[in-house]
Structure 1
C-alpha cells in the first residue's frame, strides 16, 4: 500500500521549483513565438476562459471545438463499438474513501461499464494495435472528442486503434480513471481473438492525461496499492505531450498562462477536479515522473511542445527513460502548443505535425 501513503501536508507553492531545461540537443526549447495560426486560435478560444466553465459545459465545448476546427472524418474498413464491464467502485485506499467522491455518491449499472471503440483501417488486418486513452485532464474528453484523431492514426499509422472511454472526474476521481485504464487493457489483451488482433503486438498510448494513463499501464510496480493490476506488459508506449507530473513546479507550468489552449490555470482546474486532495500530487500514481524506477517501461515515443505547461516534465520523462536504458524516440516541436490536434483546420502547421505523429506511430510497425 506504499503508493497510497498520504504525503506530508504542504501547499503546492512551498515546493522548490526545478531548474528550467533551457535547451534540447543544442537548440532552444521554444521558437520566438507560437506559430501564427495556432496563436490566432488560442486567442479566439481565450475570449471566455475555459477554466471558468462548469465541467458539463466544458465537455460539450471540447467536442464542438474538435468538430469545427479539427480533422476531417476518415472512413475505416470497420469500426466496432463495445461496452465492457469494470469495477463498480474503488475500495478504501489509505484513509480516503475514493468512490464517495462521485457526483452521486453511489454506483449503478451505468457506472460499472465503459465503452471501447475499435478502428480497423483496412480489410487486411494490421499486425499491430494501439490501445488509446484520450486527453482532457481526466475531466473532459471522450471517445467522441478523439474519434477523428484515432481514425487518422489508424489510417496513416497503419494500426488498429482501440479507444477507451474511461470514467471521468469529478464524478470518478483518482484513482478510478487509472483502474478503468488497467481493466480495459486487461480486457483487450484477454479477448484479443474477439478483437481480431495480434496479442504479441499491442501497445498503449494517449495524449496529455491519456499519455499519463498509458505511462501507468507500463509501470506495474506502481500498481501494488490498486484493486486491479496489469496482466500483460505493453509492447510499446506512444505518449503525446503526456501529463507526467501534477506538482506544477516547472518553469513551463508556471510560465504558460495566457493565449494558449492549455494554461496553468486550466491545469490547476483539472487537478482540482481529478484529485481528492492536492496532497496527492506527489504520489507516483498521480505524477509518474516521481516514481523511483521507470526501467520497466516499454520502448517509447514521446512528443513535447515548445508552448505547453507540460513541456518540461515531458522532457524530464524522456531523459529518465533514456537514462534507464529504454529505447526512446523523442520529437519536439518548438513552435506548437498543447492541443494542436484539435485545430488542424485552422493551422497547416498543426495539420503537418499531426501527420508527423501518425508517421511516428507507423514506425512502430518496423
Structure 2
C-alpha cells in the first residue's frame, strides 16, 4: 500500500480505509495555527489582512536568497472593471498595469521558466509576500521564475484576476526574446488561488467568455494545494474550520470578496473542477495536504487529470497544513516540505 505522505507519481483513488491525513498535524505547524487562531484572520479588514500576511511571511517564512539577476517590469493590461457607471477615466488609468518580477538563478545558462501566481484567495498576497518563496524555487528548482502581481478583489473581482493572469502569460510569451527565456519551455503554476489561476490558463475552452484568451498552451502546470472548487461541498471543507492557517470561515471570506455573487460558484471559471473536460491541461504536478479545506477538491482534480490521460505527478503530505511555506522558520517539517516542492519543480528540467 502506498504511503500518501511520500512523493508519488502513481497516486490514484485513495484505497478503502486509507487515511487522508496523519492522526495529528505536525506539532510546530499546530502551534502556529493555534497562535493565529487567537485573532481569527477572517475577521480582519482586507487592507490590514494584507499587511499581516506579508509580516507573517517575513517573520516566520523563508530566508531571502540572493539571485544572479532580478528584473522588475510594469506591463499594461486591457481588462478593467465591468464598466460600472462609477468608474472614472482616472480610476481606469490607475488600474491598467500590473507588475512582474523575474528571478534568474543563472543569467549565463539557458533555463526553463515557471510563470508563478501567488496565493491568497484572490484577495490578499502579492509578489512581495511570495518573494522569498520564488527565490527559493528559482535556486533549488533551477528554473527562471516570473512572479505576477495580478490585481486583487474586492477592488477587482472575478474575472479580473483571471484576465490579468492570461494577459501576463501572453505578454511573457510574446516578449520571450527580450526576457531571455526559451519559448518552448514556459510552464505555469502557483499556490492556492494562484494554482487556480494557473490551471485556468491551460484550459482554453473555459476562456471563451472572457475578453482575453491564452495564446499559447503551457509546457506544464505546477499546482501547490490549488483552489479548484469554490462550492465548499466536501468533507474536508466542512471539517477543517479551526486551528489552521486556512479554515472554512476564511475560505468563505475569500469567496465573498472575490465573487460578484455566490451564484457564480458553480461556474467552471470559478470552480475548474466542475469543467466538463480538462483533457487539454498540460503535463501536471499537484500537491495536496492532509490538513486543508481544499484537500478533497485537490485530490479529485488530480484524479481527473490522470483519468483524462494527463501525465500527472501527485504528492500528498498528510501531516501538513495549507500555507506551510510561510512558517518554515518555526517548522522543520514545513521547511523540508518546501524543499520537496522545489525538487518537484526541478524534475521538470529532465
TM-score tier (shorter): over 0.9
Match of 1:310 in 2: 294
Tell me the CA shift for residue 108 of structure 1.
3.0
DSSP-derived class of the 2:63 partner: coil
Match runs of 1:69-218 below 5 Å? 69-90=60-81, 98-100=82-84, 107-218=91-202
Per the TM alignment, residue 122 of structure 1 is displaced from its structure 2 partner at its CA by 1.6
Equivalent position of 2:30 in the other structure: 39
Deviation at 1:227, TM superposition (A): 0.2
Partners of 1:137 and 1:173 lie apart in 2 by 11
C-alpha distance after superposition, 1:124-163 (max 9, x if no partner): 3342000000000000000000000000000000000000
Residues 126 and 159 of structure 1 are in contact (CA less than 8 Å); yes or no, is this contact kept in structure 2? no
Shift of 1:23: 3.5
Alpha-carbon contact 2:166-2:213 (below 8 Å) kept: yes
Q: What are the within-5 Å matches in structure 2 for residues 150-299 of structure 1?
A: 150-299=134-283
Equivalent residue number for residue 39 of structure 2: 48
Where does the alignment leave 5 or more consecutive residues of structure 1 unmatched?
Answer: 1-20, 91-97
Q: Is the 8 A contact 2:220 2:283 kept in 1?
A: yes
**Distance change in 2, residues 1:68/1:226 (3 Å):** same
After superposition, the C-alpha distances for 1:314-359 in whole angstroms (9 at most, x for unaligned) are 0000000000000000000000000000000000000000000000
* Cα distance, 1:362–1:176 mapped onto 2, change above 3 Å: same
Q: 1:236 to 1:88 in 2, by over 3 A?
A: closer
Task: Name the CA distance, whole Å, in 1 between partners of 2:89 and 2:268.
Answer: 26
Tell me, in whole angstroms, the C-alpha distance in 2 between the residues paired with 1:102 and 1:127: 45
Q: Secondary structure at the match of 1:242?
A: coil
Stretches of structure 2 lacking an aligned partner (at least 5 in a row): 1-11
Give the alignment's TM-score, normalised by structure 1: 0.90
Q: TM-score, normalization: structure 2?
A: 0.94
1:324 corresponds, among 308, 311, 334, to: 308
Aligned residues: 339
Q: Deviation of residue 26 (structure 1)?
A: 7.0
Distance in 1 of aligned mates of 2:36 and 2:268: 33
Q: Post-superposition, which runs of at least 4 consecutive aligned residues in structure 1 deviate over 6 A?
A: 101-106
Instruction: State whether residues 187 and 218 of structure 2, in contact with CA within 8 Å, keep that contact through their aligned partners in structure 1.
Output: yes
- What secondary structure sits across from 1:108 in the alignment? helix
